[in-house]
Chain A
Amino acid sequence: MFGYITRRILGALLVMIAVSTLVFFMLRLVPGDPIAAMLADAGSDEAREALTKKFGFDQPVIIQYFKWIWNLLQGDLGASLYGSNQKVTSILAEALPRTLSLACLSFFIAIAIALPAGIISAVKKNTTADHTVSIFAFLGLSMPDFWLAILLIIVFAANLQWLPAIGYAPLSSGFWEWLRHLILPSIAIGTGFSAIIARMLRSSLLGELKSDYMRTAAAKGLSDTSMVVVHALPNAMLPVITVLGIAIALLFSGAVVVENVFSIKGLGRVLIQGILNRDYPVVQGAVLLISAFFVFANLIVDLLYAVIDPRVRYD
């Protein structure tokens, strides 16, 4: 077990090194240089030269690469090409709590919807309740999250004026202030996510309900609730945990788009603004951080799986 965990962690580290290499070289493959894009062909030759030197673009790519890795290891991701040349790490540090708040709340909302929906539709298979859950799950899967975000703004912000349509409030400004800014974006991201989990839970729970140990439990005279919740549900959660990795990918992708709808300056908005401005250091940093989270989340899912499933043996 210990060996497995060590190998998985080392594997994840190797993936991150490869990811950072890929992220670096991909941007260097682009025809045309970022300096030209920055100056929009309007700058003088001196300005061009000064900028090229400033950002180290005059050096060979391989040197640039080792510099970038060296700086990366020291937690330095370079500086933004724009404005006051803010450090990329400080831009990301500002954005991170926003995206994390959003991701956690979306996750919470998704589970809060998916658990009861999945259990009801499995226990009451082929009833109206099951069909209703199924239809909602299909709608949730098919609805683009940014559209759901717009619909929520139209109803709850523009018309009812219950919740704000844009912006973010840090936790330090009060819990309720923080929460009310996040409710609509979190619902927009969490809905599709909850549809995936509810459907997965339904199908795996149906499998468990048919198994022999459930018949034994029924023969012992256990109540329906304890049969489902105590016996079937824990086993049914196993396959659900394996799709959590996929679902977390959707959560991050959702955050990228939905942050832009609500003008929340999280990782997603930083990334998209960086791309639109051709601010390459910022783009590199944001992509690296998002994939680090994703790799880390998948690592946790794998380790969790090893811990909770006694049938899984690792040498």
Chain B
Amino acid sequence: MPHLSAKNDEHSSANYSLMSRIYDAIRTNLKAKVGLIILTIFLLVAIFASLLAPYDPNEMSLDMMSEPSFQHLLGTDDLGRDLLSRIIWGTQVSLFVGFITVAISMIVGVFLGVWAGYYGGWIDMIIMRYIDLQWAFPNFIIAVYLVAVFGTGLLNIIIAISLAFLDDFARVARSMVLTIKEQPYIEAARVQGTSDFRIMFKHILPNSVGPIIVQASVSISYAILGEASLSFLGLGVSANTPTWGLILADGRSFISQAWWLGVFPGLAIMLIVLSINFIGDAVRDAFDIRHTEI
């Protein structure tokens, strides 16, 4: 038993130091603090959208293309729909798609990368040849092509964006595994008869978490931009769900008469991506990964 508890301590301290590193990175960095505040506000807006939105986002009225006023804080669109309410509801899709897609591609990508790096041989070859192949396309083009294959809709968008980012995580995880698996403590674990699965996910993975988190912070902002771009191109969630990209696409034809339709939805996208970039930058500094600084 003493052996077991010592091990638990070691794990919790590893987790503590990880969380505290991220926490310290954000606490000591002004940009990261601003980012966290903006992101929190957006999260709250997404959660309480039904309470905050002054109108039904799809409710049309005769008050068409009216300028921002006290009645409609951000104005209305060509069908008389309240822009503020549409942007508030759009927050949900944007954040949901951004985080869920990165979570999926992180889990699957890291699993593939760890698997390939740990076993090497033909498993590595098959997985990495596929990853290399995906590397031959820009991520956004992959997402566009997958939407062409699967069709539009929330689930398909999530699948398309998750698959598009898979290769980034697989590469990062694999390269971490390749360096860590040669360490003496991994050898020791293997000699003790620890199962491969346990070595991979209990011993190697916790030690490669830094670069993976950094990759995730980069990917979330690109995933949010990706969803917005797809929606803007008409390859998005659906014509009835207000998303920021769709609101911009709908307003696109009227921007010369109604500037607010072109300005505010994009401002929302930029603010949310900016907040994540601010936080991601601080996290990257905390893990001191210079080569991914782009």
Contacts and interface: CB of A to CB of B under 8 A. Distances in A.
Nearest to B226: A253
Interface string A18-39: 1100110011011000000000
Contacts of B235: 272, 275-276
Given A252-B141, A272-B144, A147 B136 contact: no
Interface in A4-18: 15-16, 18
B256 A256 contact: no
B6 interface: no
Given A199-B294, A291-B137, A141 B277 contact: yes
Interface stretch (A49-57, A66-74, A151-159, A167-175): A151-159
Contact of A139 (B136, B270, B291): B270
Nearest to A27: B149
B266 A147 contact: yes
B124 to A, nearest CB: 17
A210 B278 CA distance: 26
B190 interface: no
A150 B255 contact: yes
Given A26-B149, A275-B235, A150 B138 contact: no
B175 to A, nearest CB: 15
Contacts of A179: none
A133 interface: no
B172 to A, nearest CB: 14
Nearest to A153: B255
A154 B232 contact: no
A150 B248 contact: yes
Given A196-B294, A291-B137, A294-B136, A150 B269 contact: no
A22 B132 CA distance: 13
A287 B141 contact: yes
Contact of A275 (B136, B148, B273, B290): B148
A249 B142 CA distance: 11
A26 B259 contact: no
A22 B259 CA distance: 43
A35 B291 CA distance: 48
B9 to A, nearest CB: 38
Given A261-B252, A275-B144, A275-B148, A142 B294 contact: no
Contacts of B234: 272, 276
A35 B248 CA distance: 32
Q: By DSSP majority rule, is chain B's interface helix, strand, loop, or mixed?
A: helix
A295 interface: yes
Given A142-B270, A144-B229, A291 B141 contact: yes
Contact of A147 (B139, B256, B270, B278): B270
A138 B274 contact: yes
Interface residues of A, number: 51
Interface string A177-216: 0000000000000000000100110010000000000000
Contacts of B255: 150, 153-154, 158
Contacts of B229: 144, 146, 253, 257
Nearest to B221: A142
A144 B294 contact: no
A222 interface: no
Interface string B250-263: 00100110010011
A75 B228 CA distance: 35
A260 interface: yes
Interface of B: 31, 129, 132-133, 136-141, 144-150, 221, 225, 228-229, 232-235, 245, 248, 252, 255-256, 259, 262-263, 265-266, 269-271, 273-274, 277-278, 281, 290-291, 293-294
6 A-B pairs with least C-beta separation? A147-B266, A249-B138, A253-B140, A158-B256, A142-B274, A142-B273
17 contacts: A18-B136, A23-B145, A27-B149, A30-B149, A138-B277, A142-B270, A144-B225, A144-B245, A147-B262, A150-B255, A151-B266, A158-B255, A253-B138, A253-B229, A272-B144, A275-B235, A294-B136
Given A146-B232, A147-B265, 10 more contacts: A23-B145, A27-B149, A144-B273, A151-B263, A158-B255, A249-B139, A250-B138, A253-B140, A276-B234, A290-B141
